Chain A
Amino acid sequence: MAQFAQPKSISGILTKWALILLAFLFLGIIIVMPIALVCIKAFSQGFEPYIAAITATETLNSIKLTIIAVFFAVVINGIFGISAAWWITKYHINGKGIIISLIDLPFSISPVISGMLIILAAGSKSTVGIFLEQFGIQIIFTPISIVLATLFITLPFTARELITLMQSQGQEEEEAAYLLGAPTWKLFTKIVLPNILPALLYGSLLTAARAIGEFGAVSVVSGHIRGYTATLPLQVEILYNDYQFIDAFAVATLMLSITIISIIVRAILNKRIAKQINVKGDQK
């Protein structure tokens, strides 16, 4: 890659350092400082209150609910993403564009509206809600609605990643395996899956990160029942509104560390996917 020559004049050097300083200052104020403040606040009374905050029953329950929501979001949207992407790339179908736009829909709807959509569709006054009530099943204001809202919000992530990748890869490898006599499940496990694995992991990671952080949609459907329908972000809000700042920030540090880990894993996966696409490019 071509590189610019280093500036030699004094004004050039000054400009360079001014720019670097400005960038660091901006990052420091907007990103590093708030993160540091959250951590400082969380540990302001020492280690013990911090541990107490994150091991409180309500917090542990919210962690549990968040894990459940993440699990369902990753698994169900993963399966959906693989089938949708496989189907869209494999068959000549009309209206592919419409299907892809539909998959993208949750991206463009405000999360609060998404939550309201779920209340409309499954609330106690909806057909589904009335029907399920006969069997004593309630959806809204229970963990089920949290899972549903999370599923809706995170639907596009894995599907989008896989559709893009599979369209760029084409299907010659699959055809080759098929012609060599591979049964469908071997075709999937030996050819399709290894090719899409990095993208699948990447999509799952985005799904998980969003599922953990989602506030708006789950807030609408949760009813804020402590220890029952509160996910991690909702728990932070509850604690904060109760003026339990140390607890609120302690729980916030948990979410922060998850974010940082996910950024690192994303960077690694991104490199692998880029490599995969390049290899394909070389073959052509």
Chain B
Amino acid sequence: MTIDIQSLNKKFGLFPALEDINLSIKKGEFVALLGPSGSGKTTLLRTIAGLEIPNSGQIIFNGKDVTHLSAREREMGFIFQHYALFKHMTVFENVAFGLRVLPAKKRLSEDEITKKVTDLLTLVQLDWLKDRFPAQLSGGQKQRIALARALAVEPQVLLLDEPFGALDTTIRRELRSWLRNLHDRLKMTSIFVTHDVDEALEIADKVVVMNTGKIIQIDTPQYIYHHPNSAFVYKFIANVNLFHAREILVRPDAMTLSLAPTNDPTCFEASLESLKHLGHSIKLVLKSNDSQEFELKLSPDSTILNSLKVGSQVFITINQDRAFIGDYQI
């Protein structure tokens, strides 16, 4: 299903939660709504689902205006951060719910429901839990059951609100690649909300960066990383150093460190304040001669590490292609 959102506005009282949102999503795309908390990403997702009513603008599914359809009629799958499983029902009944509440004419027979629910539980690899109650499951299991429940009604669009937000890091990583595979296999259109940059860059086809109720940039993960259209995106995607004197934002991995000065015009002298091993990289904290502290990242294999100690005088060259120059104030 294609989704078109045109000049959407939503206010909570006087507070503008969404301002002039325009977004097109192609069939089969996996889209991440990325932004800090309060950026409006969840409100946008809930508005697409029909759980919030916009003040103005249109939501169009496959060319059909659904702005005034209720959430019930939009037939979308929705995944909540805290799972929202029905506590008083078994796993099986949770998954069967969407099938059982259909009007009698459209409802499947009991045998067909059993088969479908079993298939879905097999799909999420949890068929052995069908008689348990939600309180007896782990967080990762709950979220997979919630997914099976949403898929039971065969939605064309899957909406996920911080689906892995309440899970620990290992399970998060595992589940997100699993979800990406599932999305490709079922050929759905999916939109998920996250504040985790790595998550968005890793699994999305398209990243929508939001801030204060507005869309700031829409691009592929790679493009967003290398060509942020604003200082906000540049800063949000990765840690940055701000050099006031030079009006430039630089990522810790966009600088080269050398023991002798280079010919590059950006080259400046700094002293090493501290050095920390983070496993996959080494984090250096340096201070320039005009007393500005900044961070720099080195690979643990760098040979230069052998000649560095706290207090060393070094030279820094900024990789200008990967820095953000210009209006850095946000």
Q: Please list the residues of chain A having a beta carbon within 8 angstroms of any beta carbon in chain B.
A: 92, 172-173, 175-183, 186, 190-191, 194-195, 276, 279-280, 282-284
Would you call B72 and A190 a contact (CB within 8 A)?
no
Q: Which of B74-82, B240-248, B256-264 contacts A (4 or more CB under 8 A)?
A: B74-82
CB-CB under 8 A from B98, the residues of chain A are 180-181
Chain B: minimal CB distance from A204 (Å): 19
Would you call A182 and B82 a contact (CB within 8 A)?
no
Our pick among A175, A180, A183 for the contact of B97 (Cβ within 8 Å) is A180
Residue of B49, B98, B142, B146 with most partner-chain A CB within 10 A:
B98
CB-CB under 8 A from A175, the residues of chain B are 51, 71, 78, 80, 84
CB-CB under 8 A from B101, the residues of chain A are 177, 180-183, 186, 190
* Contact A173 B84, CB 8 Å, known A181-B102, A186-B101, A190-B101: yes
* Contact A179 B102, CB 8 Å, known A173-B86, A195-B87: no
Q: Is the interface of A mostly helix, strand, loop or mixed?
A: helix
Q: Does B153 contact A (CB under 8 A)?
A: yes
B:187-229 near A, CB below 8 Å: none
Would you call A279 and B87 a contact (CB within 8 A)?
yes
Q: Please list the residues of chain B having a beta carbon within 8 angstroms of any beta carbon in chain A.
A: 12, 49-51, 71-72, 75-78, 80, 82-88, 97-98, 101-102, 134-135, 142, 146, 149-150, 152-153, 166
CB-CB under 8 A from B149, the residues of chain A are 176, 180
CB-CB under 8 A from B76, the residues of chain A are 179
Would you call B86 and A177 a contact (CB within 8 A)?
yes
Our pick among B71, B82, B102, B153 for the contact of A283 (Cβ within 8 Å) is B82
* Contact A172 B80, CB 8 Å, known A182-B97, A279-B87: yes
CB-CB under 8 A from B135, the residues of chain A are 279, 282-283
Give the number of A-B contacts (CB < 8 Å).
75
Would you call A172 and B51 a contact (CB within 8 A)?
no
Residue of A175, A180, A190, A276 with most partner-chain B CB within 10 A:
A180
Residue of A176, A195, A282 with most partner-chain B CB within 10 A:
A176
Would you call B71 and A179 a contact (CB within 8 A)?
yes
Residue of B12, B50, B84 with most partner-chain A CB within 10 A:
B84
Q: Can you list 28 pairs linking A and B with CB atoms under 8 Å apart?
A: A92-B12, A172-B82, A172-B84, A175-B71, A175-B80, A176-B86, A177-B97, A177-B101, A178-B51, A178-B71, A179-B51, A180-B97, A180-B149, A180-B152, A181-B72, A181-B75, A181-B102, A181-B153, A183-B101, A186-B101, A190-B86, A195-B88, A276-B87, A279-B135, A280-B87, A283-B82, A283-B83, A283-B87
Query: Taking CB as reference atom, which chain A residue is nearest B73?
Result: A181
Query: Taking CB as reference atom, which chain B residue is nearest A176?
Result: B84
Residue of A183, A186, A282, A283 with most partner-chain B CB within 10 A:
A283
* Contact A173 B87, CB 8 Å, known A179-B49, A180-B149: yes
Cα separation A177 to B76 with both chains bound (whole Å): 12
CB-CB under 8 A from A173, the residues of chain B are 84-87
The list of the 10 closest CB pairs from A to B, nearest first, reads: A180-B98, A172-B84, A182-B101, A176-B84, A194-B88, A179-B78, A279-B135, A186-B101, A172-B80, A179-B71
CB-CB under 8 A from A282, the residues of chain B are 135
Query: Taking CB as reference atom, which chain B residue is nearest A172?
Result: B84
CB-CB under 8 A from A191, the residues of chain B are 86
Query: Taking CB as reference atom, which chain A residue is nearest B78?
Result: A179
